[in-house]
């Protein structure tokens, strides 16, 4: 059975009672590291190496978990019960907004295990992130997404993100 949870935004979301979103700990490192390659689970652009899409996030993840980065955070979605399993996570950093320099946050990574996709877990992690960064004073939340990553783009558009900047690459 699902339950309704009221967020600070005034939005109500459905959350399964068998899922908990909590701060990550160092004990979660191996499970989170195993999920990171899923960041390249889409039709990646030509001339891109899939490892480049997640290796930097792996370094940030480790730095956050050992307490070296005070402005970045990792939260995990975990099943409840006798044998809890991490089914997704989100990593975000608090930073200035690029143009206005106002307090902001940046979504570094969001990953949902393939077995948990299609059930609203990505939406739950995004809404959780919005609540968290808002409570830390952020006035906006930014992210980067490849144009070919249709699944991620659909999630972000459904959550009200505006694609206001286009980054172009010309290989030489």
Confidence of residue 15 (pLDDT cuts 50, 70, 90): low
- 16 has a pLDDT exceeding 80: no
Ranges of H-type helices in the chain: 29-35, 55-65, 121-135, 150-158
pLDDT in tens, 35-74: 999 999 999 999 999 999 999 999 999 999 999 999 999 9
- The pairing of beta strand 12-15 with beta strand 19-23: unpaired
Give the span between the Cα atoms of 67 and 162, in whole angstroms. Answer: 32
Give the span between the Cα atoms of 21 and 88, in whole angstroms. Answer: 9
Choose between 38 and 1: higher pLDDT.
Answer: 38
77, 121 Cβ separation under 8 angstroms? yes
Lowest-pLDDT range, 14-18, 103-107, 122-126, 138-142? 14-18
- 11 has a pLDDT exceeding 70: no
pLDDT in tens, 119-167: 999 999 999 999 999 999 999 999 999 999 999 999 999 999 999 888 8
């Amino acid at each position: 059975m699902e339950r309704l949870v009221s967020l600070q935004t005034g939005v109500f979301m459905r959350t399964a009672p068998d899922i908990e979103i909590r701060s990550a700990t160092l004990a979660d490192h191996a499970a989170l590291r195993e999920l990171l390659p899923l960041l390249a689970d889409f039709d990646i652009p030509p001339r891109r190496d899939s490892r480049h899409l997640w290796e930097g996030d792996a370094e940030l993840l480790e730095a956050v978990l050992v307490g070296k980065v005070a402005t970045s955070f990792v939260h995990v979605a975990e099943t409840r019960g006798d044998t809890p399993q991490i089914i997704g996570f989100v990593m975000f950093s608090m930073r200035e907004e690029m143009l206005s320099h106002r307090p902001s946050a940046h979504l570094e990574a969001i990953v949902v295990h393939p077995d948990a996709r299609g059930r609203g877990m990505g939406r739950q992690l995004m809404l959780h992130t919005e609540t968290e960064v808002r409570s830390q004073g952020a006035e906006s939340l930014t992210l980067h997404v490849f144009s070919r990553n249709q699944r991620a783009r659909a999630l972000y558009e459904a959550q009200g993100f505006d694609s206001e900047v286009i980054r172009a690459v010309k290989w030489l």
